[in-house]
Chains A and B, each alone.
Chain A
Amino acid sequence: EIVLTQSPDFQSVTPKEKVTITCRASQSIGSNLHWYQQKPDQSPKLLIKYASQSFSGVPSRFSGSGSGTDFTLTINSLEAEDAATYYCHQSTSLPETFGQGTKVEIK
């Protein structure tokens, strides 16, 4: 099973600040890494697919990078509405797995 480890687990950030979340895979997964945002009491929403491709309708301040084992989700100029938990997910091999989540709080 491929283990995805996100860091940090929690981040408290001021609006307009830049946020960087990393996701490290226990073995190479190519670019089959996707990022989701989940707000309280809502379903997760896809932000970035295949490591760096923005999903339709997602604000341009969200971007992704990486390949192999190391991936990054960047939120440029954080807005209050970005308070949420963010998850990475790999679809390279079964069982598919998720990172443990990174909670982003607005100061």
Chain B
Amino acid sequence: EVQLVESGGGLVQPGGSLRLSCAASGFTVSNNYMSWVRQAPGKGLEWVSVIYSGGSTYYADAVKGRFTTSRDNSKNTLFLQMNSLRPEDTAVYYCASRSTLDCWGQGTLVTVSS
């Protein structure tokens, strides 16, 4: 069974950093297109980033230059390094697999507030 489990969220002050993890089981992260999607409280879904199987990464303009997506093939885990966090980054962050986003994690809440 394919499963994704996010972790690493929490409360952080504006300007701070957090690193989110997405541990996968049932499939190989490095062989797949993996995305990060976020959802601000009471709002819709917003695409954040993608990493392709070849390792190329792309970002939404709202996070470009501040967020970095990477993966650890040995741990079958996806990461989202978030720097220079802003209050508007407050959201539940989900990882999802493949271009069709066919499997989603449970999400991890990031709150940026002083």
Contact = CB atoms under 8 A, between A and B. Distances in A.
Interface of A: 32, 34, 36, 38, 43-46, 49-50, 55, 85, 87, 89, 91, 94-101
Contacts, number: 53
Contacts of B37: 44, 98
B102 A98 contact: no
Interface of B: 35, 37, 44-47, 50, 58, 60-61, 94, 99-107
Contacts of B58: 94-95
A95 B35 CA distance: 11
Contacts of B105: 43
B107 A97 contact: no
B96 to A, nearest CB: 8
A91 B34 CA distance: 12
B59 to A, nearest CB: 8
Given A46-B101, A50-B100, A95 B44 contact: no
